[in-house]
């Protein structure tokens, strides 16, 4: 009996050692260190697309951020840094000044969730950008006639102080009816839910729109229906018959004339650039980030399958491995184990 037990113990130890060794070899094969992270010391002048941008002043865009600090059980509800920083520099590169407002005015709370790019760090190191977010204009003090466009930045707090906010709604309507552009990303479209045109028609009726989906929300916050006053997808579907969504956590931007909306933080670059197009200009050329290339690989996988994704991956060797692995982890957490296996293979 003792010999059998010793054999079982030895076999278990061998299997455990093989598992650990295999895991170590797999992790080493990813070679994550070959992809450097963005430099936290990046300054705006180091952003090539900004330095090579339009010098003439084309107008002014108002970015609106939340004033809400927390939601539910101490969930950080501030504006999403990536959703403001990336759009801010796209607007600046294309000749637009940017001002920032919030429902309460003053210093706006920030949330930093995603892996940061050079543009995000540049925003944190930019004295002018930091001055703007630390002294936002109060919405009640904003004159909509001063702006060519309004951009509603996401962040969980938007669900509390953008929705059913008369100042935010009137701002969007006044700019839109003057021929301006309205943009919003992630939770930002909450500002449009209760908006009505001057003739009383709901703003979103017969308009195509995107926003943070129920699936994305509940994956991150299982009790989201209790934490937030409403779920954004439900509200948008109630207002618009043309709500659309894509695979969760991938770029999905919808353009309906002078209304531009994006599904989640990964839609920020495309929302900002489509807003520039809606204002009548072709956006300044910008080198895609590794994150955007990873999104392209993932979109190819979800839309066309593994082989197509492998071909896309070969064409984009610098695609962010960490983001691809994140999607693999999400699949594993949802017990889609084969999908998790296929996705992780794309990170090599």
How far is C-alpha 287 from the geometric centre of its chain's CA atoms? 18
State the Cα–Cα distance between residues 193 and 191, nearest whole angstrom. 6
Distance in angstroms (rounded) separating the CA atoms of residues 151 and 129: 16
What's this model's pTM, rounded to 2 decimal places? 0.92
Contact by Cβ (8 Å): 100, 137:
yes
Rounded CA-CA distance 73/313 in Å is 40
Among 182, 193, 270, 281, residue whose Cα is nearest residue 229: 193
User: Quick one: pLDDT band at residue 257, thresholds 50, 70, 90?
Assistant: very high
Query: Which of 22-26, 47-51, 138-142 shows the lowest per-residue confidence on average (mean pLDDT)?
Result: 22-26
The residue-averaged pLDDT of 178-196 equals 97
State both tokens at 28.
């080493």
DSSP string, 75-101: EE-SEEHHHHHHHHHHHHHTTEEEEEE
Residue-wise pLDDT for 233-256, tens only, equals 999 999 998 999 999 999 999 999
| Strand 96-102 versus strand 75-76 pairing type | unpaired
- Mean pLDDT along residues 313-334: 94
- Tell me what the mean pLDDT of segment 220-243 comes to: 94
> How much of the chain exceeds pLDDT 90, in percent?
85
Any idea what DSSP says for residue 202? B
Tell me the C-alpha distance between 348 and 341, whole Å: 12
Within a 10 A sphere around the Cβ of 208, how many other Cβ atoms? 16
Count CB atoms within 10 A of the CB of residue 296.
Answer: 19
Grade residue 159 by pLDDT with cuts at 50, 70 and 90: very high
pLDDT band, residue 320 (cuts 50/70/90) = very high
Segment 45-62 shows an average pLDDT of: 95
Please report the pLDDT score of residue 32 as a whole number.
60
At residue 31, does pLDDT exceed 80?
no
What six digits make up the tokens of 257?
């004339």
Question: pLDDT class for 114, splitting at 50, 70, 90?
Answer: confident
Is pLDDT at 44 greater than 80 in this prediction? yes
Banded model confidence at residue 215, pLDDT cuts 50, 70, 90: very high
* Domain regions of the chain by residue span: 44-278, 288-348
Residue of 218, 58, 173, 51 whose CA lies nearest to 119: 51
Q: Please report the pLDDT score of residue 119 as a whole number.
A: 97
pLDDT band at 9 (very low <50, low <70, confident <90, very high): very low
The beta strands (E) that lie in the chain are given as 59-64, 70-71, 75-76, 79-80, 96-102, 110-111, 137-138, 149-152, 181-185, 208-209, 242-243, 253-256, 259-262
- Give the model's confidence band at 8: pLDDT under 50 very low, under 70 low, under 90 confident, else very high: very low
pLDDT of residue 297: 97
User: Taking 90 as the threshold, does the pLDDT of residue 13 lie above it?
Assistant: no
pLDDT, tens digit, 9 for 90 and up, residues 279-294: 999 999 999 999 999 9
Matching residue, tokens 């209304």: 259
Q: What is the mean pLDDT of the chain?
A: 91
Which pLDDT band holds residue 28 (cuts at 50, 70, 90)? low
- Judged against a pLDDT cut of 90, whether residue 42 lies above it is answered with yes
Q: Tell me the C-alpha to C-alpha distance, in Å, between residue 272 and each of 90, 114, 266.
A: 6, 18, 11
Contact (Cβ atoms closer than 8 angstroms) between residue 66 and residue 108: yes
Give 57-93 pLDDT, tens digit per residue. Answer: 999 999 999 999 998 877 899 999 999 999 999 999 9
Residues 6+ apart with CB under 8 A from 229: 159, 160, 163
Question: How far is Cα 111 from Cα 71, in angstroms, rounded to an integer?
Answer: 12
Q: Does residue 304 surpass a pLDDT of 70?
A: yes
Q: Which fold has domain 44-278?
A: Rossmann fold (3.40.50)
């Amino acid at each position: 009996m003792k010999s059998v037990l010793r054999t079982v113990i030895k076999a278990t130890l061998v299997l455990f050692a093989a598992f650990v060794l295999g895991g170590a070899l797999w992790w080493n094969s990813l070679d994550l260190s070959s992809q450097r992270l963005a430099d936290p010391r990046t300054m705006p002048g180091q952003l090539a697309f900004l330095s090579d941008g339009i010098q003439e002043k084309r107008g002014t865009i108002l970015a609106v951020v939340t004033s809400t600090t927390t939601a539910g059980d101490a969930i950080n509800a501030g504006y999403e840094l990536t959703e403001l920083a990336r759009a801010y520099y796209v607007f600046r590169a294309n000749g637009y000044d940017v001002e920032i407002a919030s429902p309460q005015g003053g210093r706006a709370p920030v949330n930093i969730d995603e892996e940061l790019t050079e543009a995000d760090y540049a925003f944190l190191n930019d004295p002018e950008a930091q001055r703007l977010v630390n002294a936002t204009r109060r919405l009640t003090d904003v004159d909509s006639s001063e702006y060519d466009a309004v951009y509603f930045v996401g962040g969980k707090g938007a669900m509390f102080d953008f929705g059913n906010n008369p100042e935010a709604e009137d701002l969007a309507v006044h700019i839109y009816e003057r021929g301006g552009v309205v943009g919003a990303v992630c939770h930002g479209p909450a500002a449009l839910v209760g908006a009505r045109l001057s003739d009383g028609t709901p703003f979103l009726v017969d308009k195509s729109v995107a926003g943070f989906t129920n699936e994305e929300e509940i994956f991150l916050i299982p009790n989201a229906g209790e934490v937030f006053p409403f779920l954004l997808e439900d509200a948008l579907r109630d207002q618009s018959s043309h709500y659309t969504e894509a695979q969760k956590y991938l770029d999905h931007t919808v353009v309906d004339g002078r209304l531009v909306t994006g599904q989640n933080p990964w839609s920020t670059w495309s929302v900002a650039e489509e807003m520039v197009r809606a204002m009548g200009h072709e956006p300044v050329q910008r080198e895609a980030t590794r994150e955007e290339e990873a999104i392209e690989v993932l979109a190819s996988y979800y839309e066309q399958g593994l082989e197509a994704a492998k071909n896309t991956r070969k064409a984009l060797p610098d695609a962010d491995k960490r983001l691809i692995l994140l999607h693999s982890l999400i699949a594993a957490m949802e017990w889609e184990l084969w999908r998790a296996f296929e996705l992780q293979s794309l990170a090599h």
